[in-house]
Structure 1
Amino acid sequence: MSWGLIAVLAVGTFALRIAGPVLRARIHLSPNAVRLLGLAATALLVALAVTQTVYAGDGFAGWARVLGVGVAGLLIWRRAPFVVVVVGAAAATALLRVAGIS
């Protein structure tokens, strides 16, 4: 990769990051647009999580991973501490894999 390209990417990144504070007073969005932008960010994160859960490489990741993430979701819904969520999901996935459910 050339140094010129790296410099262009660095300047572009800085420009995008500084544009928010600089343009904040000049651009006004309606409350409906602000709400829709929040929903769009949530939808993007959910789509990323589902994709990473269901797919590994070119194919299906296996039921153990899907059910492990489901256990994590259930523990989060029950307001379990973060450590319990991580250990519970890992344990569920490991037990399913030991049982032969990949």
Structure 2
Amino acid sequence: MTWLAVLGASVGCYLLKLLGLSVPASLLAHPVVARTALLLPVALLSALVAVQVLGGAGALVVDARLPALGLAALLLWRGAPFLVVVVGAAALAAVLRLLG
């Protein structure tokens, strides 16, 4: 049964990719479509981050991840290097989990 699900998902992904490749170039050149295509990755990544930070066991969970995300956003806004952002957020989460 598992292999049937894997094969079905594979065929579905292939057909979805084929559908995307069959869209006419004139439709993709439309300004609204182009702007939406530019904004979609940002929206999807934001949704994934929100689910990972606030989700847990089917409920809204506020723990050390939320302040760590806030610190990461602040450091990115201030122009800190990516490694500093990651290490700073991880260190804050670790300290908060140690204290709590």
Q: Please say whether Structure 1 and Structure 2 have the same fold, judged by a TM-score greater than 0.5.
A: yes
Q: Deviations over 1:29-79 (max 9, x none)?
A: 421232234334433322221222122213343342100111111122223
Point out where structure 1 has 5 or more consecutive residues left out of the alignment.
none
Tell me what 1:36 maps to.
36
Please say if 1:8 is aligned against 2:8.
yes
Distance 1:4 1:99 in 2: 47
Distance of aligned partners of 1:3 and 1:50 in 2 relative to their CA distance in 1, 3 Å threshold: closer
State the aligned residue count.
Answer: 99
User: What are the ranges of 5 or more consecutive residues in structure 2 without an aligned counterpart?
Assistant: none
- The whole-number CA distance in structure 1 between the counterparts of 2:58 and 2:22 is 43
For residues 12-91 of structure 1, the aligned pairs below 5 Å read: 12-25=12-25, 28-29=27-28, 30-91=30-91
Q: Is the 8 A contact 2:27 2:33 kept in 1?
A: no
Cα offset for 1:90?
0.8
Identity %: 40
Counterpart-to-counterpart distance in 2, 1:49 and 1:5: 27
Normalising by structure 1, we get a TM-score of 0.71
The alpha-carbon distance between structure 1 residues 35 and 5, as it changes in their structure 2 partners (threshold 3 A), is: same
In angstroms, what is the RMSD of aligned CA positions? 2.5
Q: After TM superposition, give the deviation of residue 87 of structure 1 in Å.
A: 1.0
Cα offset, 1:92, TM superposition: 0.7
